[in-house]
């Protein structure tokens, strides 16, 4: 199993475990049905109770990575990989234990059918997931809405949805224990490129001090779990000092903060993201739910229009802090140097042609260039990067949810905006301190 997958699985498990512990302490889920016979006819009531609705939604959102078939942490994929890689070393008790938990995951307390459709626990989970919780498949949503017209069906399905996530966590916990058992074997399979020889910081070129931490090239709080530099490439002084501050500056850069709430599923602590602006707050309360709270009249939504059955358009304006492009530029250069190391190795990132960039990252001085930024764009849910070595220097492009930047990692030819770029709303801004 790839080391990156193991690292991602373990890191994500600790986030889920914290929320699970809170829910376990608060009590379990309850589903109650009541029939009452009264004069004039019988009444039927059903309700689903959670120990804490906010933590429950958070728990289910975090568990989604283990239950989504296309995610690399999908529990069936992980279990298959473990059996293929360590099948001969897995004890029968381990295998029987996981298989028993898998059987419990699909176990049912009575059959649920709707129009001859057998609603297994997995099918209920996927239907609610696709029909509104994680995605918005119109066909599935309409099917779900039709089903929930049946008295008592809505709370019953919701209870099954939550319960499935809880039972799946027991499976994931068993897989986590197996990964811990064979972790050293996984680490021994690390490629040579992932094994830095000695310690050398790509940002300060120091070999002194401690090197105990991995470094997320793009901040983990922006949803990055893939581009991670191993220990030995960034010293703790840089990692926990200037680089951490630059990550925070980019995360709190108001356009990025606004887009982060919309497109990042959860923070590195496993919480839903939230942003605080001068006139309003924006927070995610579920995988597909945002809450905007105005602080004053200026922060209220304007020109609200319905443009579809479940879609609306609106305007909101705010005046933020004065932009510090020097600080934002340093944060972007930090990502650029880190991405060179991630893609091409530490030796390339430590070349002298990047010394000016290193000085700029650490002090705000050294780069005699400007930054190209796209000021109008269509938001999207991903982060993309690209660096290209050209005679004029090393060009670096980063797209943060639609907000895009061009920069030169070397003190080469000055950045320019031609007519074609201007038509796509790119502008030149100074990086002077």
Residue 396: CB partners within 8 Å, gap ≥ 6?
A: 332, 336, 339, 385, 386, 387, 388, 406, 407, 408, 409
pLDDT reported for residue 192: 45
For residue 142, CA distances in Å to 132, 137, 139, 147, 317 come to 10, 9, 5, 9, 35
Residue 213: CB partners within 8 Å, gap ≥ 6?
A: 231, 234, 236, 239, 240
Q: Is 358 within the bounds of a domain?
A: yes
Residue 94 structural domain: 3-186
Question: Which tens digits make up the pLDDT trace of 84-118?
Answer: 999 889 999 999 999 999 999 988 766 788 988 89
Q: Is 357 within the bounds of a domain?
A: yes
Q: Is 201 within the bounds of a domain?
A: no
Residue 128: CB partners within 8 Å, gap ≥ 6?
A: 144, 157, 158, 161
413: left (phi over 0), alpha (psi -120 to 50) or beta: beta
Q: How far apart are CA 124 and CA 79, in angstroms?
A: 22
| Statement to judge: residues 168 and 241 lie in one domain | no
| Statement to judge: residues 144 and 249 lie in one domain | no
| Statement to judge: residues 292 and 343 lie in one domain | yes
| Statement to judge: residues 29 and 72 lie in one domain | yes
| Statement to judge: residues 28 and 140 lie in one domain | yes
Tally the domains of the chain: 2
pLDDT reported for residue 193: 46
Q: Which residue has the higher pLDDT, 29 or 11?
A: 11
Q: How far apart are CA 67 and CA 165, in angstroms?
A: 8
Question: Which tens digits make up the pLDDT trace of 295-332?
Answer: 988 888 888 888 877 677 888 877 777 889 999 999 99
- Convert 208-224 to b/e letters by CB count within 10 Å (16 or more is b): eeebebbbbbbbbbbbb
User: Are 76 and 84 in contact, with CB atoms under 8 Å apart?
Assistant: no
Q: Is 34 within the bounds of a domain?
A: yes
pLDDT reported for residue 191: 45
- pLDDT at 238 exceeding the cut of 70: yes
pTM (2 decimals)?
Answer: 0.85
| Statement to judge: residues 97 and 223 lie in one domain | no
Q: How far apart are the first and last CA of the chain?
A: 46
């Amino acid at each position: 199993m790839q080391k990156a997958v193991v690292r991602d699985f373990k890191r994500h498990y600790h986030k889920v475990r914290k929320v699970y512990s809170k829910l376990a302490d608060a009590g379990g889920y309850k589903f109650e049905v009541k029939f009452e016979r009264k004069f004039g006819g019988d009444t039927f009531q059903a309700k689903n109770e959670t120990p804490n609705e906010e933590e429950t939604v958070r728990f289910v959102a975090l568990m989604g990575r283990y239950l989504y078939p296309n995610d690399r942490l999908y529990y069936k994929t992980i279990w298959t990989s473990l059996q293929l890689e360590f099948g001969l070393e897995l004890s029968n008790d381990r295998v029987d234990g996981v298989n028993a938990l898998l059987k419990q995951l699909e176990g049912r307390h009575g059959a649920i059918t709707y129009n001859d459709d057998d609603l297994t626990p997995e099918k209920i989970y996927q239907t609610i997931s696709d029909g509104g919780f994680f995605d918005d498949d119109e066909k599935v949503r309409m099917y779900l809405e039709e089903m929930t017209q049946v008295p008592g069906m809505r709370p019953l399905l919701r209870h099954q949805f939550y319960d499935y996530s809880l039972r799946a966590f027991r499976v994931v916990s068993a897989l986590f224990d197996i990964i811990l058992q064979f972790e050293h074997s996984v680490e021994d399979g690390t490629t040579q490129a992932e094994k830095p020889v000695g310690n050398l910081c790509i940002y300060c070129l120091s070999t002194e001090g401690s090197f105990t931490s991995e470094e997320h090239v793009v901040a983990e709080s922006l949803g990055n779990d893939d581009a991670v530099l191993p220990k030995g490439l960034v010293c703790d002084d840089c990692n926990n000092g200037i680089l951490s501050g630059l990550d925070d500056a980019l995360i709190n850069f108001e356009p990025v903060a606004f887009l982060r709430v919309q497109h990042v599923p959860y923070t590195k602590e496993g919480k839903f993201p939230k942003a605080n602006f001068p006139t309003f707050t924006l927070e995610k309360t579920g995988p597909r739910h945002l809450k905007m709270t105005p602080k004053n009249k200026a922060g209220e939504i304007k020109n609200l229009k319905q443009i579809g059955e479940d879609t609306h358009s609106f305007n909101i304006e705010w005046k933020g802090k004065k932009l510090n492009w020097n600080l934002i530029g340093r944060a972007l250069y930090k990502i650029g140097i880190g991405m060179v190391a991630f893609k091409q190795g530490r030796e390339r990132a430590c070349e002298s042609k990047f010394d000016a960039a290193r000085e700029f990252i650490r002090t705000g001085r050294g780069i005699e260039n400007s930054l190209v930024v796209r000021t109008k764009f269509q938001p999207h849910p991903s982060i993309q990067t690209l660096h290209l070595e050209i005679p004029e220097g090393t060009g670096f492009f980063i797209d943060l949810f639609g907000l895009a930047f061009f920069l030169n990692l070397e003190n080469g030819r000055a950045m320019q905006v031609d007519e074609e770029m201007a038509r796509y709303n790119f502008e030149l801004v100074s990086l002077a301190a």
